Structure 1
């Protein structure tokens, strides 16, 4: 019965007190000394069995944990998760209050906390110890295991104030540390601590050393996997880049053969290079894509000098050149992503194709412009008997010469002449007309009933390219094109003489002034105004009076004082006083017909200038 009792206690994993209670009960019920002694002997055997069973169980748990850790390493991908599991299992098996793992930072000569389990304070989790400092720093430096029953009072270790404060904050007393080594090189340490003074038996040192070995394997495997992944990624990226470059080459070649434009080149490059591509003319005008903001002009000279794509401010700049001629700039924005060598070469090849496309387009455009310009010049200079042949040439080019026609003569500022000519040529082509240069000015001839609207359309096209157009226009007839051109040219010259740059006008908008000013310049016009109307202008400007306005109203009402006062909303006496002042300034003969005509013309020019 007694044996069954001790066996039951062993089976139930009862505490030591339960075994002692059996003997105490036997003594209390009056068992003999021999019986009590036998019970004590059996109890000692049972307790030794209990200790052996407990040890075996602990050993099995340790082996199971090590086996599970080894199994985890076979499928390692997340090294942080593996290290966390190792530290947690070590704490459970050693029954420690806290375990932690540190890694060495050799350039800085320190070891820093990588993983902790059971830490109480955030300061301890971010602790960095110089190598050789404290128990951890000593293990990480020497590669030998160390332990202490009471760290705070152990003088074997180099103590530092901030380290001792962190240790005190965790209430640490006993510490066991073992090194992490890879191929004989110490890479860190694994430590177990207790918050009470106690020794560390050999089997705990052995167990923690085993866990440290597994942690070292995990770290080394992670490094090898990272190197393998990096190599595979590099190979994959290189293969993809080469394939992408080959695809881009094929598409650019097809595009060139099919006669594609700069817009198609930009679209292909944007797609294959994975970025936003803008193509700018040498002067900065946008040719294709979305305008590239920021300052990239400094990279152009470098790209021209090297003949390669240049990285600048997170973007890539390549120059399209035809010999030594800079024809375009390609700006690729990848969002800060670097390009590999094959991708850079693709961008450079795209710049070459862009140069070819632009040169081809320029050649075609120059040919078309030359032919169209020649026909337009022949029409403007032709004698009457040559017109039928010229109309046949126009018909073959699908140019409409049936009335009504509008002719526009333009002076362009702020836009390259070739670009302006191309803009007018496109406009003429859209309306089945002609465009070209004649006598130093750009000319547009299209079928239209409203010449002013044509001139405004021309000015709008030029403004869209960043320029400004001053345009003289006139209605035209197929038989009198030369006369219409001369009329439109006089309108243009008059606008320029008046300083009305950027405006559009037909003969009606300028009246007699175009006949008088068409051959004169701004200096001659200024001299005329000064001689004829200067004293009155100066008087008004100095005193803020309205003598010029009074003169205009007086001439407009046929020299009638009362009607002039009504127009100006002043008393007739005021009008008379103002006219007397004009006589003082210009002389008493200003009302004479000859002087009066000069004054009216000067007033007209002055108003047109305003």
Structure 2
């Protein structure tokens, strides 16, 4: 290029330079104008300065735009992704990436990338001092290189170089993320071809790193604040629920206390618990008897793993063992509600404790009543004092000794509790009965006239938890016959056990010949009538002799032929009569036990006839 010749040419060249500068021409365009060297050099300087200013202005505008964009982000991951995207766009590099400081491991790890294609590169960790990034992290100063592989300023390691090689990076620029001298991480811009980084680009990347660090710290602070706020809200909710639980527990306590102080029983407590929970409730005794229940209750047949004071849940039903010490008093069931809250569970457990107290109070009252009745029974069996005084004593218990009644003696097995047996017998005897304990047996005076039927009923009703043998004597009236009736009932219950009839109930008259032995006043005629009555009636109505035939058959060793000889009849006649005997006496009349009773009855009949 040559300078313009002559004054006119110089003037035209100068004007041309001014025109280009006015049109924001590039440095290359200005340098190509034929003009005086001094003027052209000055114009190039002006154009170059303007370009620097424009780049700075563009960078500042980009930074402002980036700041606005980052201000709208609240998620840390989104902030980091936005930073690397902006950096790549502003610097025009092949890729950008950002590592964060890990104080626990003493290194930095890859957190966000834009333009990366290598999985190994995206997961690499940079030790402090290793590689370009490690050097930036350790010195907290920016470093850049146009050719990383041939730059000896950096410590090359196999892990870092392997990742950089897989990504194909050659030129790298890295600048630290600092907030008030606190190292946060490193922001990188990289190219896959050799590229020198200008100081303006390094400064722009540094400004982006500063903005990124501040935004990152603010985002973390915001996240921490939101987390703290959420924790505070959760704590507030917990406190509210706890306060509600305390209020609910106080209400339950007041409700239960008012019921107990007002004389309420277990049924009142069960209904109160159902009202408090909004479902159903049921109380079941230790023997499985439903003691109290509310509408809609579904009492399970089995409920394993029940524990005192602790609620157990099975298939939507909640069970609690009501106990005192090691003794299981009852079981409390609740259901018909959604999942119980902690406050609800405490309410049920509190109800269990109160129910246990009420049951203990009821037991103490029952024990007191039973002790008084035991004394009455002892007086009656000893026959102490005038009969009229004993009659009045019986009437104080609610029983009427002038009305027909039967005396029962109940004897349990080895596992039975005499106290529990007496309480069960009292419940079975009803309001008009009198039950006491004497010498380990339970003695009951029960209204009625059929001693055998009452004994069987009592054995069935109180024998649910173990075999209970019951003997009955009666009917009786007054009080004078009680001692003798008690002795007979005691002998009868012992006979029942000895005869293998434990767990049954009967009167002495129902024991056959054994009843004659244990009875106080044996009624031989009644025994004969009981065993042979069907044959005697048949003979009386038809003029036959089935009783004589039966006696002859037994006397002949059960031989129809020998019996026929004794009776002077044909053997077929004996066979026909025996068939009729079997039809009247029923099956089993030839069995050893029944056969013995028949032979004894025949002998007793002969004795009665001889008197």
Provide the TM-score with structure 2 as the length reference.
0.52
Counting only pairs closer than 5 Å after superposition, residues 432-447 of structure 1 correspond to structure 2 as 432-447=432-447
- 1:338-349 counterparts in 2 under 5 A? none
The one of 24, 43, 59 equivalent to 2:63 is 59
1:83 paired to 2:83: no
Among candidates 187, 212, 219, match of residue 215 of structure 1: 219
Q: How far has the Cα of 1:368 moved from its partner?
A: 1.9
Q: What residue is the counterpart of 2:576 in the other structure?
A: none
Alpha-carbon contact 2:137-2:185 (below 8 Å) kept: no
Q: Which runs of 5+ in 1 are unaligned?
A: 1-33, 73-81, 298-308, 520-553, 565-571, 573-595, 605-610
In the alignment, the residues of structure 2 paired with residue 456 and residue 56 of structure 1 have an alpha-carbon distance, to the nearest angstrom, of: 108
Are the counterparts in 2 of residues 380 and 485 from structure 1 also a CA contact under 8 Å? yes
Distance in 2 of aligned mates of 1:65 and 1:175: 23
Query: Could you say which residue in structure 1 is the equivalent of 2:258?
Result: 254
Cα distance in structure 2, aligned partners of 1:383 and 1:363: 28
Residue 557 (structure 2) aligned to one of 539, 556, 559: 559
1:487 shift after superposition:
4.4
SS of 1:260's equivalent? coil
Aligned equivalents of 1:320, 1:419: Cα separation in 2: 16
Matched residue SS, 2:422 = helix
Q: 2:488–2:518: 8 Å Cα contact kept in structure 1? A: no
Distance 1:370 1:136, change over 3 A: farther
Residues 117, 42 of structure 1: alpha-carbon distance in 2 compared, 3 angstrom cutoff: closer
- 1:366 corresponds to which residue? 367
Equivalent residue number for residue 499 of structure 2: 498
- Residue 473 of structure 1 and its aligned partner are, at CA, apart by 3.6
| Offset, 1:293 | 3.8
C-alpha deviation, 1:398, in angstroms: 4.4
Return the offset for 1:365. Answer: 0.7
- For 1:318 and 1:517, how far apart are their aligned partners in 2? 46
Matching residue of 2:513:
512
* Counterparts in 2 of 1:208 and 1:358: CA distance versus 1, 3 Å: same
Per the alignment, residue 31 of structure 1 pairs with none
Q: Which has the larger radius of gyration?
A: 2
Deviation string 1:437-492 (CA, Å, 9 cap, x unpaired) is 1342113343457656654554455455x444233345533345555544443332
- Counterpart CA distance in 2 for 1:515 and 1:119 is 112
Aligned equivalents of 1:415, 1:140: Cα separation in 2: 89
> 8 Å contact 1:101–1:115 — kept in the other structure?
yes
SS of residue in 2 equivalent to 1:217: helix
1:180, 1:213 within 8 Å by CA — same for their partners in 2?
A: no
SS class of match (1:501): coil
The structure-2 alpha-carbon separation of the partners of 1:99 and 1:486, relative to structure 1 and needing over 3 Å to count, comes to farther
SS at match of 2:72: helix
In 1, Cα distance between equivalents of 2:457 and 2:166: 82
Q: Give the TM-score, by structure 1 length.
A: 0.52
* Deviation per residue, 1:309-343 (Å, 9 max, x gap): 89999x9999977xxx8766899999999979xx9
**Does 2:214 match 1:205?**
no
Match of 1:417 in 2: 418
Name whichever of 242-251 and 280-289 sits farther off. 280-289
Q: Distance in 1 between matches of 2:493 and 2:147?
A: 99
1:224 aligns with 2:223: no
Structure 1 distance, partners of 2:440, 2:189, is 95
Q: For residue 72 of structure 2, what is the aligned residue in structure 1?
A: 68
Q: What is the DSSP-based 3-state SS (H/G/I as helix, E as strand, rest coil) of the residue aligned with 1:559?
A: coil
Shift of 1:228: 2.7
Distance 1:139 1:112, change over 3 A: same
**2:475 is matched with which residue?**
476
1:236 pairs, out of 240, 244, 269, with 240
- In terms of fraction of residues, the more helix-rich structure is 1
Distance change >3 Å, CA 134–CA 52, structure 1 → 2: closer
* CA pair 406-318 structure 1, distance change in 2 beyond 3 A: closer
Q: After superposition, give the CA deviation of every residue in 1:144-199 in whole Å (9 maximum; x if it has no partner).
A: 698988999796587669x978x999999979797798x9988x869789896798
CA contact (8 A) 2:97 2:110 kept: no
| Alignment check: 8 A CA contact 2:508 2:516 kept | no
Corresponding residue for residue 3 of structure 2: none
- 1:257 offset after TM fit, Å? 0.7
In 1, the alpha carbon distance for the partners of 2:265 and 2:181 equals 64
From the superposition, tell whether residues 411 and 194 of structure 1 become closer, same or farther in structure 2 (CA, over 3 Å). Answer: farther
Structure 2, unaligned stretches of length 5 or more?
A: 1-15, 27-46, 90-94, 293-298, 521-551, 563-570, 572-591, 601-611
Aligned to 2:31: none
Query: How many residues in Structure 1 have an aligned counterpart in Structure 2?
Result: 471
1:547-580 Cα distance to aligned partner (Å, 9 max, x none): xxxxxxx98797323599xxxxxxx9xxxxxxxx
The one-character-per-residue Cα deviations of 1:286-318 (angstroms, maximum 9, x if unpaired) are 999988743869xxxxxxxxxxx89999x9999
Q: CA RMSD in A?
A: 6.9
Q: Structure 1 residues 151, 409: CA separation in 2 closer, same or farther (over 3 Å shift)? A: farther
Residue 421 of structure 1: how far off its partner (Å): 2.4
Distance in 1 between the 2:133 and 2:283 partners?
A: 59
- The Cα shift of 1:205 comes to 1.7
- Structure 1 residue aligned with 2:408: 408
The answer (yes or no) to whether the contact 1:423–1:462 under 8 Å persists in 2 is yes
Q: Contact conserved, 1:471 with 1:505, CA < 8 A, in 2?
A: yes
Q: Distance in 2 between matches of 1:293 and 1:279?
A: 16
